[in-house]
Amino acid sequence: MTDTQELLAAATRHPLPPGYVCSADPGRFDADLVHDWLSTDAYWALGRSREAQAQMLAGSLAYGVYEEESGTQVGCARVVTDLAAFAYLCDVYVAPGARGRGLGTSFVAAVLADVIGRAPHGLRRVLLATDDAHGVYARLGFTPLPRPEQWMVLGSS
């Protein structure tokens, strides 16, 4: 099985619950709501400015998860990618009122399936960083870096 097939298989095992839809439509994405969520409730983005958030959204694929009937956005995620080999999943957030139903796992699965579908040559790897949601990502096949000694980082936060 290729890297892309493995990623897609993991993504398709967790469909969205009935009544929810995932979309990368920028016209549907509520950037103000997302900024409020992330800058006040997400440990990795506390205090993030609207300007920084806008630039981040402009440089990535931005996804929302929505209640199908009302159209209300209940989550967000971003993917920074070259659509050829690499993707970085970040800013994954599900609103408190929508948590506890498996929506986070299924939303990330839908995001991955969409990104993989946009990558004409497939993706070799998808990376992310998390302090507190390892279980969500493990259900989708994410594992710790197999050889962390190969990786380096510039910047610490």
pLDDT in the model for residue 93:
98
Residue 21 in domain: yes
Domain that holds residue 86: 3-140
Asked, for residue 89, whether it belongs to a domain, the answer is yes
Q: Is the pLDDT of residue 108 over 70?
A: yes
We report the CATH number of the domain holding residue 61 as 3.40.630.30
Q: What is the pLDDT of residue 2?
A: 66
Stretch 124-143: mean pLDDT, rounded?
A: 92
78 located within any domain: yes
Q: Is residue 151 part of a domain?
A: no
- Residue 20, pLDDT above cutoff 70: yes
Total of domains in the chain: 1
> How much is the pTM?
0.93
What's the CA gap between 3 and 22, in Å, rounded? Answer: 23
Give me Rg for the CA atoms of the chain. 15
Residue whose pair of structure tokens reads 């929506």 in the numeric block: 103
- In sequence order, the 6+-apart residues with CB closer than 8 A to the CB of 135 are none
